[in-house]
Amino acid sequence: MPTTPNTASTSDRSGNQAEPTAKVSSTAHAEPASPAGKRPAPPCTLVIFGAGGDLTKRLLMPALYNLAVDGLLDDGMKIIGVNHGERETKEWVDDLHKSLQQFAADKASTFHAGKLDDKAWDWVAQRLEYMAGEFETDDVFTQLKQKLEKSSGGNVIFYLAVSSRFFKPITEHLGGAGLLKESDDGKSGFRRLVIEKPFGTDLASARDLNEHILSFAQESQVYRIDHFLGKDTVQSILAVRFANALFEPVWRREYIDSVQITAAETIGVEGRGAFYEQTGAFRDMLPNHLFQLLGMVAMEPPNSFDAEAVRNKKADIFDAIKPLTPDDVVFGQYEKGPAGVGYREEPDVAKDSTTETYAAARVFVENWRWAGVPFYLRTGKRLAARRTEISVQLKPVPFRLFRDTPVDALTPNVLTLRIDPAHGTSFDFNVKTPGPVMQIGAVKSSFDYADFFAERANVGYETLLYDCMLGDETLFQRADSIETSWAAVDDVLHPKTGGAVPVHGYAAGSEGPAEADALLARDGHAWRLLREEATPEKK
């Protein structure tokens, strides 16, 4: 649990000094120390718009609880929840507590903490306050301003855990009430704005939203969040690449044949048909989540882990992506199959819907390191298995050496970074099988995080919230990167010729539409299998 450090500052992931922390005396019980090398974030008030929503219950509150358990929140922390509907703070707190207990007991939940630590929850609960109000009325922000003026330190984070239609009005009201204003000397404390996806629905809307927000806040105050980047296994991509001499020398077009990035789900739209009808798999996943993974895989080595150094390198990758055309993508929609009903039979979905629940794309990064290397991206619902992973396939070795042996093909060397649900890496390579004849056999070497590190309840927002409090923007998206990503897919969303991308059917519970297989077959490749442990593709 949090204790106040004696030092005057904290350090971000790059080692730079972050905002000074106020010395707040604690009257609480003795708390466990924060992890080695980690100090509590500076005291601040976290204002959550959408306090009664699913995001707050399932992700933000579990993340705050976990940060409290780890001793990474300052005793001066306060949390104000703003939402429609009158209710007492105690009722809201009890509702959150009940939800946390249910999630903690559910082994299938991302927050599978087991039994809650009562002391940790009490610490969080004491800092919660509910405030009723409409998000588009002046009086709410006047009342909020009065509450914040009474807060010590002046540090405030405004978290927009709301529908995207509220992004503009909330930001405008915050700006109009002077709640985003920071003093030039920094003495009044920081003011930060956290915005969830979707950040726009295409290039034009993203530009418009950026322009609106940046008319009330500085770019340095805006934290565009992508929860994929909060996963430890996603952040470990940089560690695998840059902390191991084995990989970086071959991490280029001379040695890499292709890269596959997969985010597959077995669930359907789960009652979110109305949202999905307006979004679809492509908008929901490709220009943000999957492009972020691509950026981590493809970026050049930064000079440091300073936020701008990392974000500049990722921005270079997004800028180098060859704009996609309708010929580069395949859309699919799940139909009735072994895994259940079809998408059109889901609640709140049109009976003649053409919304895609599956999207695959062939992407090229046109720079010196990656020219000519295809990146194959796919995402979908109601697929054969739940799997988020990145597979990097190396080019084949010359076969001449084995032409007089019984070997008719060599298994490609593939490094797979497993992100979800299993965490780890595996590598497919070739060895000689036992016996007097030179015969080659395919083997796999694997590493699982669970074999080396203790399992921790983690919903992926802990690092993001902690970094936001520290002022570390490494894992957050800049305006230019958002717009560049949308620009790369704009011709798919708004085809200049040929009409909309056709949507092909696939059986619920299958590997996806056959047309997605044909997309890779053009280049002599094949998707790695979802239904079982991925097996090396053969050419």
pLDDT given at position 109: 72
What is the model's pLDDT at position 404? Answer: 66
| Burial state string for 499-523 with b = 16 or more CB within 10 A and e = fewer than 16 | eebebbbbbbbbbbbebbeebbeee
Active-site annotation holder among 289, 423, 494, 504: 289
> How far is residue 229's CA from residue 211's CA, in Å, rounded to a whole number?
24
Residue 187 has a pLDDT of 63
Contact call for residues 19 and 191 (beta carbons, < 8 A)? no
HSE of 435 in the Cβ direction (CA atoms, 13 Å)? 9
3-state SS of 434-445? CCCCCCEEEEEE
Task: Give the global pTM.
Answer: 0.88
84 is catalytic: no
| Dist. CA 339–CA 37, nearest whole Å | 46
For residue 390, what are its two tokens?
């990145």
Give me the numbers of helices (H) and strands (E) for the chain, helices first please: 15, 17
Write phi, then psi, for 210 (nearest 5 degrees): -60, -45
Which secondary-structure segment (H or E) carries 284?
helix 273-285
In Å, what is the CA distance from 417 to each residue of 293, 404, 421? 11, 35, 12
- Reported residue count of the chain is 539
**pLDDT of amino acid 231:** 83
- Report the C-alpha gap between 316 and 392 in whole angstroms: 21
What pLDDT is stored for residue 403 in this prediction? 67
pLDDT at 114: 75
Nearest to 298 by CA among 282, 322, 273, 320: 320
How many other β-carbons are positioned within 10 Å of the β-carbon of residue 372? 10
Q: What is the pLDDT of residues 445-471, one digit of tens each?
A: 999 988 888 777 788 899 999 999 999
Q: How far is CA 322 from CA 286, 318, 363, 479, in A?
A: 14, 9, 7, 19
The string of pLDDT tens digits covering residues 312-362 is 999 999 999 999 999 999 999 999 999 999 999 999 999 999 999 999 999
- Cβ atoms of 324 and 286 within 8 Å: the answer is no
Question: Which residues in the chain show pLDDT less than 70?
Answer: 1-37, 113, 151-153, 185-187, 399-409, 532-539
Between the CA atoms of 116, 119, 121 and 125, what dihedral angle is there, to the nearest 10 degrees?
160
Q: How confident is the model at residue 6, as a pLDDT?
A: 35
Q: What is the pLDDT of residue 11?
A: 39
Give the residue from 270, 477, 519, 278 showing the smallest Cα distance to 375: 519
Domains of the chain (ranges plus CATH)? 38-228 (3.40.50.720), 231-396+479-521 (3.30.360.10)
CA distance 254 to 256: 6
The pLDDT value recorded for residue 153 is 60
What was the pLDDT predicted at 406? 63
pLDDT of residue 287: 96
Which residues, including other chains, have CB under 8 Å from residue 503's CB and lie 6 or more apart? Answer: 331, 332, 333, 354, 355, 356
Considering only CA atoms, which of 414, 393, 394, 411 is closest in space to residue 402?
Answer: 411
Model pLDDT, residue 186? 58
pLDDT, residue 411, reads 82
Q: Which residues of 77-91 are buried (b: 16+ CB within 10 A; e: fewer)?
A: bbbbbbbeeeeeeee
The residues facing 417 across adjacent strands are 390, 425
From CA 62, how far away is CA 65, in angstroms rounded? 5
* Helical H segments across 418-475, by residue range: 449-452, 462-470
The backbone torsions φ and ψ at residue 390, rounded to the nearest 5 degrees and listed phi first, read -125, 125
Q: Which pLDDT score is estimated for 400?
A: 61
